[in-house]
Amino acid sequence: MTRIRVLVVDDAVVVRRMVADALAQDPAIEVVGSAANGRIALQKISQCAPDAVTLDIEMPELDGLQALREIRRLHPRLPVIMFSTLTERGAVKTLEALALGATDYVTKPANVGGVAEGMQRVREELVPKIKAICGRSHPAPAVPAHGRAEAAGASTSRVDVVAVGVSTGGPNALARIVPALPAAFPVPVLIVQHMPPLFTAILADRLDAQAALAVREARSGDPLRPGVVYLAPGGQHMVVRRHGVDAVVDLTQTPPENSCRPSVDVLFRSVAALFGPGALGVVLTGMGEDGTRGARAIRDAGGQVLAQDEATSVVWGMPGQVVRAGLADRVLPLDLIAPELVRRTGARAVTPGGPARVVQPPGSAERSASP
């Protein structure tokens, strides 16, 4: 198999060497060059023809964001993975990079605790992303005919909650879906995006500024309201529970699942248990299989599951696993998911500007208007 050719771009020589050495230890990857700033990187891309680029954000002469704009202009399909610090500034810059077309990102600590630890982080976090994005992961079982498993006939069940799981490529996917939902969207939306703390709060703020719906980073005790989007905070699982006759958010720090916290499986199991056939799960682009077991729980409870298709996914890992397991009611390109959510929830059922309704799980008292 032809090795994946990677260009490493970082202004710190110790980081360049550490990343290059760690990548070179994997037999599937070949480091074809390195660069100390964006200007040199643009030259090296033309010379080395890499399959992927790792790009630091903070660099002299031409920083990561400026370089990314040029890379996207000259090489629109070249995968670019940003290196970001776990700081508020790093989070803001990373989300800006993703909006400019970066493929994904990895975080690095402000002070790497030694070269060995740094190389281990590269092997655990960067190598799998490069392989997945460049399509060199281990082959998966064959997908059913036509590349999707679509149930015969769409469900007509009432939808009481939408739960979304997403990872690699998620911020841009969410930026296409959430702003496309109408202000009158009649049910709450719960989202797990694999991201660290700080990043999720900034992502929620960015989506809130773009959308007709209210988007917030979830807090324990938040009552679920129609037309509100709740984003799980980085580092915490998000579940829903009954509080009296209402449904509310709860945040926990139980162990990670699928090496993730927040985990899509945790959220999906929770909405399946509380809302049963009223749960609608959506699995979007992302690495791994987080969401598959949760999707099965939703289907077993009588709910519905949508999955993003392969052509529009940055990585068809999470949705692909759901499709292969035969759990997707429909498999849709990204731009058709918001219209499908509107259709399945009957979004016109709520008058714009009307009173918010308290969301109550099945079996509780009828919904009532909030004061």
The Cα 368–Cα 346 span in angstroms is 19
Length of the chain: 371
Q: Is 194 a known active-site residue?
A: yes
Task: Say which of 11, 56, 84, 194 is annotated catalytic.
Answer: 194
Q: How far apart are CA 208 and CA 301, in angstroms?
A: 31
Tell me if residue 138 is catalytic: no
Closest CA to 219 of 211, 205, 230, 206: 230
Could you tell me which of 104, 153, 142 has the C-alpha nearest to residue 315? 104
The neighbour count for residue 245, using CB atoms within 10 Å, is 14
The whole-angstrom separation of Cα 310 and Cα 120 is 30
Cβ–Cβ < 8 Å for 54, 9: yes
Q: Do 217 and 233 touch, CB atoms closer than 8 A?
A: yes
Nearest to 167 by CA among 308, 329, 306, 344: 308
The two three-digit tokens of residue 304, written as one number: 């519905």
Q: Which residue carries 């990343």 as its tokens?
A: 19
Q: Are 277 and 302 in contact (CB under 8 A)?
A: yes
Point out the catalytic residue in the list 10, 265, 290, 309.
290
**Candidate list 34, 167, 270, 313, residue with the active-site label:** 167
At 6, give phi and psi (nearest 5°): -125, 135
Active site residues: 167, 194, 290
